[in-house]
């Protein structure tokens, strides 16, 4: 005869087993339907306090190692001072998968990408 605590433990184990199987099926489906040229866009709150920036970047770097979807991550950060920039350069050398950018840098990157795409489109139209 089982006690009340044993019954709760059995229910919890069954629940966790079902949850684990669902996560496994989810991962397999995502892996099978992955897109080779896709980008992941995540919204992460970056505090203006520079002390929290390094742990956040390190966390994203470790996540990019474990999850292939986060191989190339752009991290939109607030404007930084010289000390934070040096720290971000060091972190970027350690793991180049996470790219911290300011809003001005992101705007410049998007404008450059748009210009390259329009040039490519014009070349295709000429052919």
Residue by residue, pLDDT tens for the chain (127 residues) are 578 888 899 999 999 999 999 999 998 988 788 776 666 666 677 766 667 777 888 888 888 777 766 677 777 777 777 777 788 888 888 877 788 888 888 889 889 988 988 888 888 788 7
Q: Rounded CA gap, 100 and 5, in Å?
A: 49
48 shares a domain with 26: no
Predicted structure pTM score: 0.53
Nearest of 31, 29, 94 to residue 60 by alpha carbon: 94
Alpha carbon 94 to its chain centroid, in Å, reads: 17
79 shares a domain with 22: no
110 shares a domain with 52: yes
């Amino acid at each position: 005869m089982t006690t009340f605590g044993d019954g709760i433990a059995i229910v919890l184990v069954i629940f966790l087993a079902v949850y684990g199987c669902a996560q496994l099926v989810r991962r397999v489906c995502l892996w099978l339907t992955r897109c080779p040229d896709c980008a992941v866009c995540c919204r992460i709150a970056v505090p203006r306090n520079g002390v929290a920036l390094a742990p956040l970047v390190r966390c994203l770097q470790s996540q990019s190692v474990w999850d292939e979807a986060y191989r190339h991550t752009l991290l939109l950060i607030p404007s930084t001072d010289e000390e934070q920039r040096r720290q971000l350069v060091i972190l970027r050398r350690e793991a180049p998968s996470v790219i911290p950018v300011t809003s001005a840098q992101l705007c410049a990157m998007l404008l450059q990408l748009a210009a390259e795409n329009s040039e490519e489109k014009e070349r295709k139209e000429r052919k």
